[in-house]
Amino acid sequence: MGPDDILVIAAQEFTLRGKDLYQASYALMSYFSGHCRRGTIADGYAGPAQLPPADAPYDPGDTGGNILAVRVEVIADTLDRGTTTAIEVMHRGFDTLGRALPDQYTADEIQLLTIAIGGDALTVSHLDRDTAYRRAGSTEP
């Protein structure tokens, strides 16, 4: 992380009725993990927007609801570069989702999802270097 780099956080929720969000989460998290290992992104998350309470009994028919929350964090020198990288990773993640779960997602469904990335529901925030280090619990680089 350079002295002027910032942490860019892009998040979006997607409505996926009738899909198994736990399987989708696993496929997307596997994809994001690869990008974390390569250093393309700092962190990524994909999962149901509302997880069941910790004390809820196990339900084998639970597919995680209808809303998939996706978040990608990128360290970049500008807000634009970080946002572009995050959107690109989301886009390619959904492409791999179609290949990982072809029984659940048609090519048309994946196309609609990738078109929605970066739309009105996208939120982008950023932290400067000092704030990012404080967030990580460190006071020095």
Q: Which of 126, 122, 112 is nearest to 12 (CA)?
A: 122
pLDDT tens digits, residue range 11-69?
999 988 888 889 999 999 999 999 999 999 999 999 988 776 677 776 766 676 788 99
C-alpha to C-alpha distance for 39 and 7, rounded to whole angstroms: 13
**pLDDT at residue 129 in the model:** 66
pLDDT at 113 > cutoff 60: yes
pLDDT at 1 > cutoff 70: no
Segment 25-31 long-range contacts (CB within 8 Å, at least 24 positions apart): 25/64, 25/68, 27/96, 27/97, 27/100, 27/101, 28/70, 28/93, 28/94, 28/96, 28/97, 30/100, 31/92, 31/93, 31/96, 31/97
Q: What angle do CA 126, 15, 104 make, to 5 degrees?
A: 120
Using the structure block, give the residue that is written with the tokens 């994001």.
Answer: 32
Q: Which residue has the higher pLDDT, 3 or 38?
A: 38
pLDDT tens digits, residue range 119-139?
878 999 988 767 766 766 765
Question: Cβ-count burial of 35 within 10 angstroms (0-12 exposed, 13-18 middle, 19+ buried)?
Answer: buried
- Measured from the Cβ of residue 56, the count of other Cβ atoms closer than 10 Å reads 9
**pLDDT at residue 50 in the model:** 76
pLDDT tens digits, residue range 53-77?
677 776 766 676 788 999 999 999 8
C-alpha to C-alpha distance for 78 and 60, rounded to whole angstroms: 44
pLDDT at 93 > cutoff 60: yes
